[in-house]
Chain A
Amino acid sequence: MSELLPGDQLHSFPGGLKLRHHKQVSCQQPMARSSLPDHLYLPLVQHQGPPGKLLVSPGESVLKGQPLTTAEDDSQVPIHAPTSGTILAVDQLHPVSWPPGSRAACVVLAPDGDDRQASFEPLADTRPDAVVDHLNRLGLAGLGGAVFPTAAKLRGDWPGLHTVIINGAECEPWISCDEMLMRERTEAIISGGVILARTVGASQVVIALEDRMGTVEAKFARCLREQPPALPVKLRQVTTIYPEGGERQLIQVLTGREVPHQGLPQDLGVVCHNVATAAAVHDAVIEGKPLIERVVTVTGPGIAQPRNFIAALGTPIAHLVAQAGGYTGPITRLVLGGPMSGLALASDEIPVAKGTICILALTEDVLSRRQSEMPCINCGECVRVCPASLLPQQIFRHLAADNLAAAERLNLSACIECGCCAQVCPSHIPLVEHYRHGKHQLIVRQLDQRRAALARRRHEAREQRLVRERAERQARRAERKKRLSEPEQARDEIQAALERARRKQKP
Chain B
Amino acid sequence: MSLELAGAPHLPPRRTVGDIMRDVLYAMVPAVIAHVWFFGWGIVFQIALTIAFGLVLEMLMLRARGRPLKPFINDYSVVVTAVLLALCLPPLAPWWIAATGMLFAVVIAKHLFGGLGYNLFNPAMVGFAAVIVAFPGELSNWLAPRALSPGLPTPGETLTAIFTGRLPEHLSWDAISQATPLEALRTGVQEGRLVSEIHSEPIFGDFGGRGWEWIANFYLLGGLWLIYRRVISWHVPVAVLATVIVVSLPLWLLAPDAHPSPLQHVFSGALVIAAFFIATDPVSGSATLRGRLIFGAGVAILTLAIRRFGAYPDGVAFAILLMNMLVPLIDRYTVPRAYGHRT
Q: In the assembled complex, which residues on chain A have CB atoms less than 8 Å from the CB atom of B66?
A: none
Interface SS of A by simple majority: loop
Q: Complex Cα distance A294/B9, Å?
A: 24
CB-contacts of A252-277 with B (<8 A): 252, 258-263
- Are B283 and A389 within 8 A (Cβ)? no
The residues of B that contact A342 with a CB separation of less than 8 Å are 8, 10
Residue of A nearest to B341 (CB): A261
In the complex the two chains form, is A423's CB within 8 Å of B287's CB?
Answer: no
List residues of B (1-44) whose CB comes within 8 Å of A's CBs: 1-20
- Contact, CB under 8 Å: B15 / A383: no
B101 at interface, CB cutoff 8 A: no
Complex Cα–Cα for A260 and B9 (A): 27
Query: Which of B12, B18, B230, B282 contacts A368, CB < 8 Å?
Result: B12
Q: Which of B8, B71, B335 contacts A432 (CB 8 A)?
A: B8
* B-contacting 9-mer, from A52-60, A195-203, A370-378: A370-378
B333 close to chain A: CB less than 8 A = no
The CB with the most chain A CB atoms within 10 A, among B11, B77, B335, B337, is that of B11
Interface residues as binary, A422-449 with B (CB distance below 8 Å gives 1, 0 otherwise): 1111111010110010000000000000
Choose, from B113-121, B127-135, B250-258, B268-276, the stretch at the interface: B113-121
Q: Indicate which residue in A262, A344, A387, A426 contacts B17 across the interface (CB closer than 8 Å).
A: A426
Q: Which residues of A have CB within 8 Å of B10?
A: 333, 335, 339-340, 342, 344, 360, 362, 366-367
CA distance A378 to B4 in the complex (A): 28
Give chain B residues whose Cβ lies under 8 Å from the Cβ of A348.
1
Cβ-neighbour of B13 out of A100, A428, A436 (below 8 A): A428
Residues of B within 8 A of A101 (CB): 5
For A263, the chain B residues whose CB sits under 8 A away are 340
In this assembly, does A354 line the interface, its C-beta being within 8 Å of a C-beta of chain B? Answer: no
In the assembled complex, A9 has its CB within 8 A of some CB on chain B: no
Among B20, B233, B338, which residue has its beta carbon within 8 angstroms of that of A384?
B233
A332 to B341, CA, bound (A): 40
Do A380 and B8 touch (CB < 8 A)? no
B17 touches A377 (CB 8 A): yes
What DSSP secondary structure best describes chain B's contact surface? Answer: loop
Q: How far is the CA of A416 from the CA of B8 in the complex (A)?
A: 13
Given A371-B71, A411-B341, CB of A380 within 8 Å of CB of B15: no
The interface of chain B, by Cβ under 8 A from chain A, is 1-20, 71, 74-75, 77, 115-118, 230, 233, 282-283, 285, 287-289, 292, 331, 335-341
Q: A332-B3, A340-B9 are contacts. A388–B339 as well, Cβ < 8 Å?
A: yes
Residue of B nearest to A248 (CB): B339
CA distance A410 to B341 in the complex (A): 11
Using A333-B4, A346-B5 as known contacts, say yes or no to A423 and B14 having CB atoms under 8 A apart.
yes
B3 touches A380 (CB 8 A): no
Distance (Å) between the CB of B13 and the closest chain A CB?
Answer: 5
A380:B9 contact, CB within 8 angstroms: no
A379 close to B (CB within 8 Å): yes
CB atoms of B283 and A258 under 8 A apart: no
A324-336 to B contact mask, C-beta < 8 Å, 1/0? 0000001111110
Interface string of A215-229 (1 = CB under 8 A from B): 000000000000000
Contact status of A381 and B117, CB under 8 A, knowing A344-B6, A368-B12, A423-B9 = no
| 24 CB < 8 A contacts A-B | A261-B341, A335-B8, A335-B10, A339-B11, A342-B10, A344-B5, A344-B7, A360-B10, A366-B10, A366-B11, A367-B12, A370-B16, A374-B117, A377-B116, A377-B117, A388-B338, A390-B336, A391-B335, A391-B336, A410-B335, A411-B341, A419-B9, A424-B14, A426-B19
Residues of B within 8 A of A393 (CB): 287
Known: A380-B233, A388-B339, A416-B339. 13 other contacts (CB 8 A): A332-B3, A340-B10, A344-B3, A371-B17, A374-B116, A380-B287, A390-B336, A411-B341, A417-B8, A425-B13, A426-B16, A430-B7, A432-B7
Contact check, B20 vs A379: say whether CB atoms are below 8 A apart.
yes
Decide if A375 touches B12 in the complex (CB within 8 Å): no
Min distance, Cβ B311 to any Cβ of chain A, angstroms: 32
Which residue in B1, B285, B335 is a CB contact (below 8 Å) of A331? B1
By beta carbon, the residue of chain B nearest A390 is B338
Q: Inside 8 A of A387's CB, which chain B residues have their CB?
A: 339
Q: Which residues of B contact A262 (CB under 8 A)?
A: 340
Residues in A with CB closer than 8 Å to B5 are: 100-101, 344, 346
**Whole-angstrom distance between the alpha carbons of A345 and B8 in the complex?**
11
- Whether the Cβ atoms of B289 and A380 lie closer than 8 Å is yes
Known: A101-B5, A370-B16, A371-B18. A383 touches B340 (CB 8 A): no
| Bound Cα distance A422, B8 (Å) | 8
A211 to B185 CA separation, bound complex (whole angstroms): 58
Contacts of B14 in A (CB 8 A): 423-424, 426
Does A389 contact B13, Cβ atoms closer than 8 Å? no
Q: Which residue of B lies closest to A409 (CB)?
A: B335
Chain B CB within 8 A of A48 CB: no
Report if A414 contacts B (CB, 8 A).
yes
Does A347 sit within 8 A of B, measured CB to CB? yes
